[in-house]
Chains A and B, each alone.
Chain A
Amino acid sequence: MRHPVRNILQRFRQRRRAARELDEELAFHVEMETGANIARGMAPAEARRRALADFGGIVQTGETVRDVRRLPIESICQDVRYAVRVLAASRAFAFGAAATLALAIGVTTAMFTVVDALVLRPVPFREPEQLANLVMGTDRGGTYFVAPPVVTAWRESPVLEAAESALTTTALVEVGETVVTRGLATVTPGVFSMLGGVRPVAGRLFTATEGAPGQDDVVLVSEALWQSVYARDSRLLGRRIVVDGERLTVVGILPSAFRFPSAATMLWRPTNLGHDGERARAYVRFAPGVPREDALRLATDAARRADPKIPTLRAWAYPIAGLEEGYSHRALPLLAGAVALLFLALCANVCGLLLARMTARRREFSTRAALGAARGRLFRQALVESALLGATGALAGVGVAWALVALARTLIPQQLLAQTLNAFDVDGRALAVTSLAGLAATLAAGWLPAWLGTRLHASESLRIVDRGGTESRAARTLVRGLLTAEVALVCALLAAATLLTRSFVNLASADRGLETSGVTTLWLNLGAKAPDEASRHALARTLDESLRQLPGVEQVAWSYGSLHRDSVVSPRSVDLQVRARAPAGRPEGLRYMRRAVSTQVIPGFS
């Protein structure tokens, strides 16, 4: 019992011996009977003939005995072998049904993964609804940044469980001879315990004192960076790497699933917010049980006391990730709904395929019933066959889901993908639900022919089949009803899916007030090469001239810092942004302004 596999193998071996012994046993019987017949005075040949005749079919007896001895698993194996032969015989059907199912399962799972990561559950931390990005502003907007004393004041506030800071920027990482650009976050050491459940893959997190001037030459790196740049070199821990020209000691490696404050963050440096002119971006965890409005009012008071320069601003809480309440937030669930309907339609199609084969299958089932197959056995056969089909479809579906999610990772725009802090992997729950639903659909559809085929007496059922399908009234109504319902369902589902997709397209192509076609954005990270504004301007002027001479470039605009990414010009590095426009034959100046005032910059802040 402890080793079920070994147990079964042993029983198989025993069974082979038992079969040999059964033959011997029966042969012995015939021999004894022959001997007895000879003793009664028969000729040897006649004696043996009589013994065999008397035996009533040695093969049949053997078969009956074997049935007594047969393990249930053997007959299931037999069913599976038979099912494989049946499906192989009608390859086009099997392939069509399995492929439809695979597509349904794969597409639905991939879609759910995307919606889940972007809309439903973008923050994979403990009690995500208590986490927020706290900003100071008016009802027309504000700034992401607060003065360090504000963070300290919030940390001491009873309505906030924790208040930490995390600022993102890009950093130049020197690896041997080459330099790579990666997202870097400057964080207060307490940020990891505020998020909860962050465990380094190797090494440690920051200690409470790290980040003070003189103690900030340490860095945490992401497993993703460790893998892609350092080839999982175990000696990276404790080594010094060069980031933005500074030598920093790697003290820990964080799992690649940990993404904070942005999906692109690969390096984390500590700060105690005590550096000259440093700004903070506050991430807080609200204390449980305090109404959000009261908490924000108290946070406002605390911030105003800590920073006299902002007497009119109020505290606002923003989710730390997830799509903004923009068009994609509405569009993605629409698309997901369309895909869910498509899933149902595809499942209905698989059922339809199975039902269409019913006449042929009915004949076979009736014949087998007439030859003496037990009804239960036929049922099991039908179930095994559909289960095999369903399982093949589900397995292929897993593959399709993986492929689609991998594709989505590269195809979904980075800006959209950066909205989630999830690792964006195939969602196991969605896969389980869709696979089970698909399997259930095939099982239900496969079970029907067996039920109809074995419901009547075998002879009657055969007669019906041979006469070309004069079924009993009830059976005819049932089959017709099912097929009609199936076709109606598919039509309705397709119509609904089309409408939803249409709505999605409308939403996606809605005028966002910007003309983005032909606009290309480039970022330059100058590192320590252009430390002041004058040198940045000089560099920009040289680049500007050569860019304008490129064929096809119509306009070039520049900005320092980033307008639609929320990164900052940190004292350690400088982002230089170039916007080039390809010819479109329209006056451009105005559009540029509109693009610059995109939704990412909160208007109205002085």
Chain B
Amino acid sequence: MPKTEYLQGALDLLVLHTLALGPNHGWGIQQRIRQVSREALSVSQGSLYPALHRLEAAGLLSSEMVATENNRRARVYTLTAAGRKRLQAEAADWRTFALAIRRVLQTG
């Protein structure tokens, strides 16, 4: 599993990307990141929920309480237009960054 400090900067990006696929609740986002990364990335709840609320406060996400089948209410997050824009920008940044790292590692 990669060290958490790598993950820290990418958490917003991961959350935004996951929600770009469709609205989801916190647990769903966590499971999705774990599955898609084939168990390589595990986002702790202690980081995930503050991040979700922070992104919502910044207007990148919107949320509403939705009743679930087991008679509970879950908060379901949706990407806003601003969030979609931010996702594109951050994804582009990340690709540039990753490419640069790979290039550095390939030399020598």
Task: Decide yes or no: A68 and B57 within 8 Å by CB, A24-B72, A28-B68, A55-B45 being known contacts.
Answer: yes
Task: Decide yes or no: A57 and B46 within 8 Å by CB, A68-B57, A69-B57 being known contacts.
Answer: yes
Q: Are B46 and A60 in contact (CB under 8 A)?
A: yes
Contacts of B31 in A (CB 8 A): 36
Contacts of B75 in A (CB 8 A): 21, 24-25, 28
Closest to A67 in B: B50
Interface size class of A (residues with CB under 8 A): 20 to 34
Q: Are B49 and A27 in contact (CB under 8 A)?
A: no
Q: Are A69 and B53 in contact (CB under 8 A)?
A: yes
The answer to whether A56 has its CB under 8 Å from any CB of chain B is: yes
Contacts of B26 in A (CB 8 A): 25, 28-29
Please report the C-alpha to C-alpha distance between residue A32 and residue B50 in the assembled complex, in whole angstroms: 19
Please report the C-alpha to C-alpha distance between residue A24 and residue B70 in the assembled complex, in whole angstroms: 13
The answer to whether B85 has its CB under 8 Å from any CB of chain A is: no
The answer to whether A599 has its CB under 8 Å from any CB of chain B is: no
The answer to whether A600 has its CB under 8 Å from any CB of chain B is: no
Q: Could you tell me the dominant secondary structure of chain A's interface residues? A: helix
Q: Are A28 and B74 in contact (CB under 8 A)?
A: yes
| A27-76 with Cβ < 8 A to chain B | 27-29, 31-33, 36, 54-57, 60-61, 64-65, 67-69
The answer to whether A80 has its CB under 8 Å from any CB of chain B is: no
- Nearest-neighbour CB distance to chain B for A378, whole angstroms, equals 23
Contacts of B45 in A (CB 8 A): 26, 29, 54-56, 61
Please report the C-alpha to C-alpha distance between residue A36 and residue B50 in the assembled complex, in whole angstroms: 23
Please report the C-alpha to C-alpha distance between residue A65 and residue B51 in the assembled complex, in whole angstroms: 8
- Nearest-neighbour CB distance to chain A for B72, whole angstroms, equals 5
Task: Decide yes or no: A61 and B50 within 8 Å by CB, A25-B75, A28-B73 being known contacts.
Answer: yes
Closest to B68 in A: A28
- Nearest-neighbour CB distance to chain A for B21, whole angstroms, equals 18
Please report the C-alpha to C-alpha distance between residue A370 and residue B60 in the assembled complex, in whole angstroms: 35
Q: Are B49 and A21 in contact (CB under 8 A)?
A: no
Q: Could you tell me the dominant secondary structure of chain B's interface residues? A: helix
Q: Are A56 and B72 in contact (CB under 8 A)?
A: no
Number of interface residues of B (CB under 8 A): 20
Please report the C-alpha to C-alpha distance between residue A33 and residue B72 in the assembled complex, in whole angstroms: 14
Contacts of A69 in B (CB 8 A): 53, 57
Q: Are B54 and A68 in contact (CB under 8 A)?
A: yes
- Nearest-neighbour CB distance to chain B for A64, whole angstroms, equals 5
Q: Are A25 and B46 in contact (CB under 8 A)?
A: no
Contacts of B25 in A (CB 8 A): 25, 28-29
Other-chain residue from A25, A33, A36, A54 in contact with B74 (beta carbon distance below 8 A) = A25
Please report the C-alpha to C-alpha distance between residue A29 and residue B68 in the assembled complex, in whole angstroms: 12
Q: Are B27 and A32 in contact (CB under 8 A)?
A: yes
Contacts of B74 in A (CB 8 A): 24-25, 28
Please report the C-alpha to C-alpha distance between residue A540 and residue B73 in the assembled complex, in whole angstroms: 102
Closest to B42 in A: A54
Please report the C-alpha to C-alpha distance between residue A64 and residue B50 in the assembled complex, in whole angstroms: 6
A-B contact count (CB 8 A): 60
Contacts of A65 in B (CB 8 A): 49-50, 53
Please report the C-alpha to C-alpha distance between residue A32 and residue B49 in the assembled complex, in whole angstroms: 15
Other-chain residue from B27, B50, B54 in contact with A28 (beta carbon distance below 8 A) = B27
Q: Are A31 and B49 in contact (CB under 8 A)?
A: no
Task: Decide yes or no: A27 and B53 within 8 Å by CB, A56-B44, A60-B46, A61-B46 being known contacts.
Answer: no
Contacts of A55 in B (CB 8 A): 45-46
- Nearest-neighbour CB distance to chain B for A458, whole angstroms, equals 23
Could you say which of B25, B50, B57 has the most chain A C-beta atoms within 10 Å of its C-beta?
Answer: B50
Closest to B65 in A: A21
Chain A window 5-37, contacts with chain B (Cβ cutoff 8 Å), 1 for yes, 0 for no:
000000000000000010011111101110010
- Nearest-neighbour CB distance to chain A for B100, whole angstroms, equals 31
- Nearest-neighbour CB distance to chain B for A55, whole angstroms, equals 5
Closest to B26 in A: A29
- Nearest-neighbour CB distance to chain A for B63, whole angstroms, equals 9
- Nearest-neighbour CB distance to chain A for B30, whole angstroms, equals 8
Please report the C-alpha to C-alpha distance between residue A32 and residue B72 in the assembled complex, in whole angstroms: 10
- Nearest-neighbour CB distance to chain B for A25, whole angstroms, equals 4
Q: Are A61 and B73 in contact (CB under 8 A)?
A: no
Q: Are A33 and B27 in contact (CB under 8 A)?
A: yes
Contacts of B57 in A (CB 8 A): 68-69
- Nearest-neighbour CB distance to chain B for A372, whole angstroms, equals 15
Chain B window 35-54, contacts with chain A (Cβ cutoff 8 Å), 1 for yes, 0 for no:
00000000011100110011
Closest to A27 in B: B72
Please report the C-alpha to C-alpha distance between residue A284 and residue B30 in the assembled complex, in whole angstroms: 89
- Nearest-neighbour CB distance to chain A for B11, whole angstroms, equals 13
Please report the C-alpha to C-alpha distance between residue A24 and residue B65 in the assembled complex, in whole angstroms: 9
Q: Are A31 and B72 in contact (CB under 8 A)?
A: yes
Q: Are B53 and A68 in contact (CB under 8 A)?
A: yes
- Nearest-neighbour CB distance to chain A for B69, whole angstroms, equals 11
Please report the C-alpha to C-alpha distance between residue A31 and residue B45 in the assembled complex, in whole angstroms: 13
- Nearest-neighbour CB distance to chain B for A320, whole angstroms, equals 66
Q: Are B27 and A29 in contact (CB under 8 A)?
A: yes
Q: Are A26 and B46 in contact (CB under 8 A)?
A: no
Q: Are B49 and A28 in contact (CB under 8 A)?
A: no
Closest to B64 in A: A21
Q: Are B73 and A68 in contact (CB under 8 A)?
A: no
Contacts of A57 in B (CB 8 A): 46
- Nearest-neighbour CB distance to chain A for B14, whole angstroms, equals 17
Please report the C-alpha to C-alpha distance between residue A29 and residue B49 in the assembled complex, in whole angstroms: 10
Contacts of B65 in A (CB 8 A): 21, 24
What is the interface of chain B, defined by CB distance below 8 A to chain A?
25-27, 30-31, 44-46, 49-50, 53-54, 57, 65, 68, 70, 72-75
Report 8 cross-chain contacts, Cβ distance below 8 Å, ordered by A residue. A28-B68, A29-B45, A31-B70, A32-B27, A60-B46, A61-B50, A64-B49, A65-B50
What is the interface of chain A, defined by CB distance below 8 A to chain B?
21, 24-29, 31-33, 36, 54-57, 60-61, 64-65, 67-69
Top-9 shortest CB links A-B:
A32-B27, A25-B75, A64-B50, A56-B46, A28-B74, A68-B53, A29-B27, A65-B53, A68-B54
Q: A25-B49, A68-B57 are in contact. List 18 more A-B contacts (CB 8 A).
A: A24-B65, A24-B73, A25-B25, A26-B45, A28-B25, A28-B26, A28-B72, A28-B73, A28-B74, A29-B49, A31-B72, A33-B27, A36-B31, A54-B45, A55-B45, A55-B46, A56-B45, A57-B46
